[in-house]
Amino acid sequence: MPFQSAFSQLFTQDVIIAWAVFGLVLFGIAGAMVYSRYRRKKGQGPSQAVDANRTEIGYAAALVCIVVFLVYSSFTANAKDYPDPPKPAAQVTVTGFQWCWRFHYQGTSFTATGQCQGLRSLPVLVVPVGEPVRLSLTSTDVIHAVWMPQWKFKLYAYPGEVNTATLTIPRAGKWMNRCAQLCGLYHYEMDFWLQAVPPAAFRSYLRTGRL
Amino acid sequence: MTAPVKAAAYPSPADEDRDGLAQWLLSTDHKRIGLLTIGTSLVMFLFNGALALTMRSQLAQPEMHVLSPQQYLQFVTMHGTGMIALTITPLAIGLGVYLVPLQVGAPRIAAPRSTLLGYWLYALGALLLIGGFVTPTGGADSSWWGYTPLSNSIYSPGYGQSLWTGGVFLVACGAILQGATTLWTALRMRAPHVTMLRVPVFTWTSIVTSLMVLAGFPALLLAMGEIAAERIDPHAFAGNGWNVLYENLFWFYGHPVVYVMFFPFVGCVAEALATFTGRRYFAYRGTVLALLVFAAGSMSVWGHHMFATGQQVNDYFSLTSIMLAVPAGVEYFGFLGTLWGGRLRYTTSMLFALAFIPQFLIGGLTGILIANPALDYQLNNSYFIVAHFHYTLFAGSVTGFFAGFYLWFPKATGYLLSERLGKLHWLLMVTGANATFIPFFFLGYDGMPRWVATYPASSGFGTPSLIASIGAGIIGLSFCVLIWNVYGSVRAKAPAGDNPWQAHTLEWATSSPPPRFNFDLTHPVPRVHSYAPLFDLRQQARQRKQETERGQRTGRREPPGKDEA
């Protein structure tokens, strides 16, 4: 699953860098406080230095190097998320509406939907395990967004526009997903399930509408 | 010796010296306009803070219904718009209106009537926005973004949304006027010898803020125009391109405004650090350059709000956004460089400045995380984002504001605040802010979307949400302490004197509060040799004293004219 692997790798890397920077700054503040006490004890006044241009230029150059590295990681991770799409095993049109979801499996006459009022009535998006599935996101009214927190994936669903992404869910299971763009009164109820089942079970689901 | 001449030296329109409400609302004195703007923003802060506390009480536990879903959306929309457009932006600009003329040694602000009009537009806009609550259908409820088509007349038919659109338009016009006159003052009305590289750091932050207001806010006017058109005829713009256009227009304003709501508070922190370390602000030129680069860069990062829309050039905006780490890092060089080697005085203002540095850093570092599209696909529109921008805006900007508030309150009123209550305020606010906003990071990472009125018990969001709500209560308490402090101090009237903190910049050369035209014969503008003119004067006095003492010891006088070199 590209979105999840790219996220995990990059998040770990950038969070480590962030902690390092945060630690250095905290250390700098604490150090300055201790140094101030030390100077006071020795009867020294505040330092008269007004700048340290060479140090500052060197520091800025170091920042540029870090930024180049961060931008490079950002680009490579993003390229993994939206590669040239593999041939999908299934194509699903995901339609958001106020306030629920509809899943139409392209090439079949099968459409699944639900009520979005409490856990039992949520619609279920069924996909085959380990096979690429292309989602085409759209909306019939306002802007919605599909968010699959477990799989680190989010994409907006616009009225009159189709956004596509290809997901490959690596293992069987059932996960809660949410609408991530404010879409009106019952935005907070617009949840749906993502369920990954073995490919054979998926094909029979398309025929019978049942798992 | 010159005291009796004071009144006669500068013409002072008698009717402006009185203290009635009308005199305040009609005053062309930038100090009164500045205080009106700041005061109104603080009232808005308390109002929108109360909304936040109500929402936190609803979110403390799953499936709570203190508010109906409709009320919740109205509250969250008002809280967002109110804090950004009615509180922190006017606070940032109002500080500039008050301080910039003083800091550059000008007797008045440029175009004072336009500045005053700016305040009126802001106040009127605020009334319209809040007025939504008394309409039959309640306030606007499509969030502070007001994305179309949700905000058009089909999906948001109430008057509240129309009032919101008009209110935001007026407030933006007001900000543009006040930003422009502040900029004009800084550029064209500086006292003799106050060159651009001798204006204090705060004034520089105000200059770049005004530049961003002028460059970014007109896009908001266009965006409000688009909503207005869609509220008159929801079919005026067919096709999704218009929705995406709205998003681009809105964020073309919506990102620079983030730095508008940040830089003046960096200025507050910088002035507090310089004052309470007893030294000139370190790496001034580097900081000025960083501010200008930052302001220029801020105009081309707006697309990072749209990474998950599938309608934006993600890599480009990831590049420009991450690049801002360089000027931001250079600013931090100035903070730490000033601290390092200073003799620290832990006043309330200094404590807020010290808390600002790591707290804003959390906002900045998480900002770099979400500048990666691959991370934003998860974190966008989640509580992680809510945590991020509350760290920048509250734990950062508002904390920085209080560094300035405790620093300049004696200047503006002539009275000292209680340091003990100030430190209590600091302790509660820092504790509350971190207790509230740290849990948000975990909630967002685990999948809690923003703008939800409630969440199911099965989600597991209950415990972090409860901690956050308790933290919000502590923040509320900290503001009770602040109000108590201000009330008590204004009654106690402990005189501040001209320069209670031994600060460095020109506003401290005049009386507290400053006279109508800022400087007079008893308080003239001193000759300015650097961006810390009063520091220079004290240093010269000290040198002269040392030389005299040395001269007395050796029984020899220094050769005359050595000072001049």
Q: Render pLDDT for B271-293 as a digit per residue (tens, 0 to 9).
A: 999 999 999 999 999 999 999 99
- Closest among B51, B45, B340 to A34, alpha carbons compared: B340
Beta bridge partners of A155: A146
DSSP sequence for A89-149 = SEEEEEEEETTEEEEEETTSS-EEE---SSGGG--EEEEETTSEEEEEEEESSS-EEEEEG
Q: Could you state, in order of their start, the residue ranges of all structural domains in chain B?
A: 3-531, 532-565
Q: What pLDDT is attached to residue B563?
A: 45
Contacts of A142 in chain B (CB under 8 A): 147, 149-150, 155
Contact A73 B361 (CB under 8 A): no
Q: What pLDDT is attached to residue A119?
A: 80
B432, pLDDT greater than 70? yes
Structure tokens at B180: 């422009």
Q: What pLDDT is attached to residue A209?
A: 83
Q: How far apart are the first and last CA of chain B?
A: 31
Q: What pLDDT is attached to residue A210?
A: 83
Q: Could you state, in order of their start, the residue ranges of all structural domains in chain A?
A: 2-81, 90-208
What is the average pLDDT value for chain B, to the nearest integer?
93
Contact A56 B286 (CB under 8 A): yes
Scanning B60-150, the segments in alpha helix (DSSP H) are 69-81, 89-103, 112-131
Say if residue B8 is exposed, middle or buried (CB neighbours under 10 Å; 0-12, 13-18, 19+).
Answer: exposed
B13 — pLDDT class (breaks 50, 70, 90):
low
Tracing tokens 């006292």 back to the chain, one arrives at B191
Considering only the beta carbons, identify the residue of A15, A156, A182 that sits closest to B142: A182
DSSP sequence for B370-406 = TTSHHHHHHHTTBHHHHHHHHIIIIIIIIHHHHHHHH
Contact B339 A182 (CB under 8 A): no
Give the separation between CA A141 and CA A172, rounded to whole angstroms.
Answer: 33
What is the average pLDDT value for chain A, to the nearest integer?
93
Contact B372 A78 (CB under 8 A): yes
Contact A154 B380 (CB under 8 A): yes
Counting residues of chain B whose pLDDT is more than 70, the rounded percentage is 95
Contact A142 B309 (CB under 8 A): no
Q: Please answer whether residues B290 and B331 qualify as being in contact, where contact means their C-beta atoms are separated by less than 8 angstroms.
A: yes
pTM of the model: 0.93
pLDDT tens-digit readout, B198-211: 999 999 999 999 99
Give the separation between CA A23 and CA A18, rounded to whole angstroms.
Answer: 8
Give the separation between CA B180 and CA A10, rounded to whole angstroms.
Answer: 42
DSSP sequence for B221-271 = HHHHHHHHHHHH-TTSS-STHHHHHHHHHHHHHHTHHHHHTTHHHHHHHHH
Contacts of A135 in chain B (CB under 8 A): none
B364, pLDDT greater than 80? yes
- Closest among A133, A106, A116 to A177, alpha carbons compared: A116
B 254-313 residues with CB < 8 A to A: 277-280, 282-286, 308-311
Angle between helices A2-41 and A53-81 (to 10 degrees): 160
For residue B249, give the amino acid letter. L
B3-531 is a CATH 3.40.50.970 domain: no
DSSP E strand stretches across B331-457: none
Assess B521–A contact: CB distance below 8 Å, yes or no: no
Contacts of A166 in chain B (CB under 8 A): none
Contact A181 B147 (CB under 8 A): yes
Q: Please answer whether residues B61 and B88 qualify as being in contact, where contact means their C-beta atoms are separated by less than 8 angstroms.
A: no
Structure tokens at B524: 């003239």
Contact B380 A39 (CB under 8 A): no
Q: What pLDDT is attached to residue B557?
A: 53
Assess B244–A contact: CB distance below 8 Å, yes or no: yes
Contacts of A6 in chain B (CB under 8 A): 374
| HSE-up of residue B204 (Cα within 13 Å, Cβ side) | 29
Q: What pLDDT is attached to residue B18?
A: 67
pLDDT tens-digit readout, B74-84: 999 999 999 99
Average pLDDT over residues B3-21: 55
Contact A25 B278 (CB under 8 A): no
Average pLDDT over residues A127-152: 95
B565, pLDDT greater than 80? no
**What are the residues whose beta carbons fall under 8 Å from the beta carbon of B76, sequence distance 6 or more?**
B55, B143, B451
Q: How many Å is the Cα radius of gyration of chain A? A: 25
| Other Cβ atoms closer than 10 A to B415 | 18
Contact A18 B378 (CB under 8 A): no
pLDDT tens-digit readout, A12-64: 999 999 999 999 999 999 999 999 999 999 988 899 899 999 999 999 999 99
Assess B235–A contact: CB distance below 8 Å, yes or no: no
Q: What pLDDT is attached to residue B555?
A: 60
A118 — pLDDT class (breaks 50, 70, 90):
confident
Average pLDDT over residues A84-89: 83
B21 — pLDDT class (breaks 50, 70, 90):
confident
Assess B369–A contact: CB distance below 8 Å, yes or no: yes
Assess B364–A contact: CB distance below 8 Å, yes or no: no
Dihedral angle of Cα A56, B282, B332, A57, to the nearest 10 degrees: -10
For the domain covering A90-208, report its CATH number.
Answer: 2.60.40.420
- Closest among B356, B329, B266 to A17, alpha carbons compared: B329
**Chain A closest-CA separation from residue B178 CA (Å):** 33
Q: What pLDDT is attached to residue A120?
A: 83
**Chain B closest-CA separation from residue A153 CA (Å):** 5
pLDDT tens-digit readout, B437-451: 999 999 999 999 999
Contacts of B315 in chain A (CB under 8 A): 74-75, 78
A95, pLDDT greater than 80? yes
| Chain A interface test: which of B250, B369, B378 (most A C-beta within 10 Å) | B378
**Chain B closest-CA separation from residue A32 CA (Å):** 5
Q: What pLDDT is attached to residue B8?
A: 43
Phi, psi dihedrals of residue A144, rounded to the nearest 5°: -120, 175
Assess B382–A contact: CB distance below 8 Å, yes or no: yes
B219, pLDDT greater than 60? yes
Smallest CA–CA distance from B149 into chain A, residue: A142
B252, pLDDT greater than 70? yes
B236, pLDDT greater than 90? no
Contact B368 A142 (CB under 8 A): no
Q: What pLDDT is attached to residue B237?
A: 87
| Other Cβ atoms closer than 10 A to B64 | 14
Smallest CA–CA distance from A141 into chain B, residue: B149
Average pLDDT over residues B519-540: 94
ipTM over 0.90: yes
**What are the residues whose beta carbons fall under 8 Å from the beta carbon of B562, sequence distance 6 or more?**
none
